[in-house]
Structure 1
Amino acid sequence: MTKRRSVVATILAGAALLAAGAAAAQADPRDPLEPINRGVDALNQRVDRAAIQPVARAYERAVPSLVRRGASNFFANLGDVWSAANSVLQVKPGDAAQNFMRFAVNTTAGLAGVFDVATDIGIDRHKEDFGSTLARWGVPAGPYMVLPLMGPTTLRDAAGLPVDWAGHPLGQVSPAASRNAIAAAGAVDLRARLLPLDGALDQAFDRYTFMRDAYLQHRDAQVRDGEAAGAADAEPVAADGADPDIQAN
């Protein structure tokens, strides 16, 4: 009996080692902090389900869609200012001009940004932040991270957050109580807009992996699009002012 138990224990230990080896082989190199990130993500889920999600659902039910759209436009309009500043830092004069123009048009004709007049007349939004500015100048993304209450990010983007907070127009609002109240309203509005994604996340085989891969894919595409725009802005023109890519017939 003792010998049999010893054999069983050896088999189980070997299986455990094989499972650990398989898990290590399948580990995503972009996510070396996965055990810690999973713990933070689980905490974020509990907080979201207990407090944030119910508030967002109540907001969605109680506030008419037209008013909610106006609130979303207002916060996006504030973001256009910081996007414009980062477009300047990234040497994208075309994007910077459009973002500044968006803010000017929406703040005036759009009644402080409640109405997105700029989009209606064809002025594009180019969303930028300090993380994308760091990327523009060659700073790698670094490992994937999940921040308490804030969710997915990367080491590079997390390092840029203090600059984003200081540079965003909301960072200039005083007193602090007013600033925090506006920021909280913006967070509730954002969470309400993300409610349609809850079903897909809940049905995912591994919610954590699904969110991580979706976030990294989206962020990579966002940064690459920004780099492409920067290259276009820096593209030389011919001496007569014509675009060199346009060939004469």
Structure 2
Amino acid sequence: MTLKQGAWVMRACSKWLVGGGVLLACAGSVLAEGNPRDPYEGFNRSMFAVNEVVDKYAAKPVAQVYDHVAPLPVKAGFGNFFGNVGDLWIGANSALQGKFADAGVDVGRLLINSTVGIFGLFDVASELGLEKHEEDFGQTMAVWGVGDGGYLFWPVIGPRTARDTAGWAIDSYVDPVWRVRPISTRNSMVALRFVDIRASLLPADKVVEEAALDKYAYIRDAYLQRRRNQIFDGRPPRLED
């Protein structure tokens, strides 16, 4: 899969989300009772199977080549650059959640890393003690009281809840990488970011394969737990029995 093809896949996934949402809405009245956190499990497992094929024959091989060929400083630089690009939107979400001190840190990180850090290639802000936050619009909606809407699994995009799917769409819309021109450069950047993210997950593959009797359920439960921790900043309230 080339960089241009990778970008095309990401654009196609946006259309997938819309079409998939319609299918889920139509199917909602006939869903059998099951895991209340995973009301669309049949659909999700089908999409998970599709994703496993795409990952096995396209995404993972490209990520492995990238991980093997690219020197560690290059991979770190790419990761820092894309992280820096997202700090402004992270700051906006911090502010929307009422975390104004965090928002100030996020903007400070952007200013420092974009200048002293040479367009974000070096994470100077972290060395100065400015913590990197992980906020997105899905978390913002959760803080505002929007329910998760049930768990979903999308090919290429991966695990989400219905709320996080909507949040992902907003996050993608405001993502400055998608505004880059010419389009060929934008497509290359989108695909490179996707490959970089997939490469960062390679060490987790073996852990999942060895630990999970049911890989789908393992990934679902891990995702939901991680999102809950993110929403409550690592201090989630105790779940009711």
TM over 0.5: yes
Q: Give the superposed CA RMSD.
A: 1.9
Aligned match for 1:220, one of 208, 215, 228: 228
Aligned-pair distance for 1:162?
A: 2.2
Is 2:31 the partner of 1:27? Answer: no
Report the equivalent of 2:125. Answer: 118
Aligned-pair distance for 1:171?
A: 2.8
Report the equivalent of 1:202. Answer: 209
Aligned-pair distance for 1:166?
A: 1.6
Question: Unaligned regions of 5+ residues in structure 2, if any?
Answer: 1-30, 237-241
Q: Which amino acid aligns with 1:207?
A: K
Q: Matches of residues 178-197 of structure 1 in structure 2 within 5 Å?
A: 178-197=185-204
Report the TM-score when normalising by structure 1. 0.78
Aligned-pair distance for 1:148?
A: 2.0
Report the equivalent of 1:242. Answer: none
Aligned-pair distance for 1:114?
A: 0.7
Aligned-pair distance for 1:226?
A: 7.9
Answer yes or no: is the 8 Å Cα contact 1:81–1:169 preserved in 2: no
Report the equivalent of 2:151. Answer: 144
Aligned match for 2:167, one of 139, 155, 160: 160
Report the equivalent of 1:72. Answer: 79
Q: Which amino acid aligns with 1:98?
A: V
Report the equivalent of 1:61. Answer: 68
Aligned-pair distance for 1:88?
A: 1.9
Rounded Cα–Cα distance in structure 2 between residues aligned with 1:129 and 1:224: 13
Rounded Cα–Cα distance in structure 2 between residues aligned with 1:163 and 1:145: 17
Q: Which amino acid aligns with 2:152?
A: M
Q: Which has the larger radius of gyration?
A: 1
Rounded Cα–Cα distance in structure 1 between residues aligned with 2:186 and 2:145: 33
Report the equivalent of 1:21. Answer: none
Report the TM-score when normalising by structure 2. 0.81
Is 2:97 the partner of 1:96? Answer: no
Identity between Structure 1 and Structure 2 (%): 45
Q: Which amino acid aligns with 1:216?
A: L
Q: Which amino acid aligns with 2:57?
A: A
Rounded Cα–Cα distance in structure 1 between residues aligned with 2:141 and 2:33: 30
Report the equivalent of 2:5. Answer: none
Aligned-pair distance for 1:202?
A: 1.6
Rounded Cα–Cα distance in structure 1 between residues aligned with 2:33 and 2:64: 37
Q: Which amino acid aligns with 2:232?
A: R
Aligned-pair distance for 1:177?
A: 2.6
Q: Helix, strand or coil: the match of 2:52?
A: helix
- Give the length in aligned residue pairs: 205
1:97-120 deviation line (CA, Å, top 9, x unaligned): 000000110111111111110000
Is 2:219 the partner of 1:211? Answer: yes
Q: Which moved more, 1:39-48 or 1:80-89?
A: 80-89
Aligned match for 2:176, one of 169, 183, 205: 169
Rounded Cα–Cα distance in structure 2 between residues aligned with 1:32 and 1:185: 34
Aligned-pair distance for 1:26?
A: 9.6
Is 2:91 the partner of 1:84? Answer: yes
Answer yes or no: is the 8 Å Cα contact 2:113–2:124 preserved in 1: yes
Rounded Cα–Cα distance in structure 2 between residues aligned with 1:201 and 1:188: 19
Answer yes or no: is the 8 Å Cα contact 2:178–2:190 preserved in 1: no
Aligned-pair distance for 1:25?
A: 11
